[in-house]
Amino acid sequence: MSKYLYFIILISTTMISQNRNLEWTEEFNGKKINTDIWNFKKGLGHNNEEQYYTSRAKNIRIEEGMLIIEARKEKFKGSKYTSARINTIGNKLFKYGRIEIRAKLSEGKGTWPAIWMLGENRQRDGYPASGEIDIMEHVGKSPTEIHGAIHYPELDNKKLNSSVSSFEIPSSKDGFHRYAIEWDQKSINYFIDEQLFHCFTIEDAEREGRENIFKKPFYLIINLALGGNWAGEIDDSIFPARFYVDYVRYYQ
């Protein structure tokens, strides 16, 4: 991409964001996590991950206006590690607009923080029928990269299609970055600190006989996983590992 084109994209996307209306925000300013919005997942993770998710304050809490998800090395219900995962199932859905999260990623081999979405039909129709929008994923073994992805099924709801991009994390004095998608009826565009790094054309998920899954509402998930199929071997010297989220903002 030329510097000139990059400048055009950066200016235009910034102007678009500034012209949006802030419809909903979670600033994590309370003393406790708002359970009218957030649900806690409890139990083992997926993808051969090694953590057990809990709702305990030692794993997930609010401090000084930040959500902190803390992964720990400790024996708990048959697992060697604990962490946390929250979602907005049944409480808050998103369809189109800009979803922006300011966050500081955990560090160390074996960590796998993620900000992602699944279709509201997940519990009814299963996966991959629900589709998936990965706003941000990071694995500690590749510390300088973030990843954005779209996953969607073929008509039989068995074969999985994916559209994935990786991007070098920009420099930051405090480690925080803004991760966002801008989603409309035609596309889902991915940004980090207003830098566009991935584009998905929604038409690519069209299948005759089924409504496009990216024209339906999705719910949000924030979690810190450990190990598993992608993050790999865990470095036990890194604990406790913390994933900080400053805010979640939804613009229409």
pLDDT tens sequence across 76-127 = 999 999 999 999 999 999 999 999 999 999 999 999 999 999 999 999 999 9
What secondary structure letter does DSSP report for 210? B
CB 39 within 8 A of CB 50: no
pLDDT of residue 18: 57
Whether residue 27 is contained in a domain is answered as no
Q: How many domains does the chain have?
A: 1
User: Whole-model pTM?
Assistant: 0.92
- What percent of the chain has a predicted confidence (pLDDT) above 70? 93
224 near 83, Cβ under 8 Å?
yes
Residue 174, domain member (yes or no)? yes
Instruction: Name the active-site residue from 50, 120, 132, 182.
Output: 132
User: Sheet of 111-119: strands edge to edge?
Assistant: 39-40, 85-87, 218-226, 111-119, 132-137, 145-153, 160-168
* Segments in the chain below pLDDT 70: 1-18
157: phi then psi, degrees, rounded to nearest 5: 60, 20
Q: Which residues span the domain enclosing 223?
A: 32-231+238-251
How far is Cα of residue 220 from the mean position of the Cα atoms in its chain?
7
Phi then psi for 17, rounded to 5 degrees? -60, -40
pLDDT at residue number 9 = 41
Evaluate whether residue 4 is within a structural domain. Answer: no
User: For this structure, is 137 an active site residue?
Assistant: yes
Q: Which of 49, 100, 137, 182 is catalytic?
A: 137
- Quote the pLDDT of residue 19: 74
What CATH number is associated with residue 207? Answer: 2.60.120.200
Q: Does 23 fall in a domain?
A: no
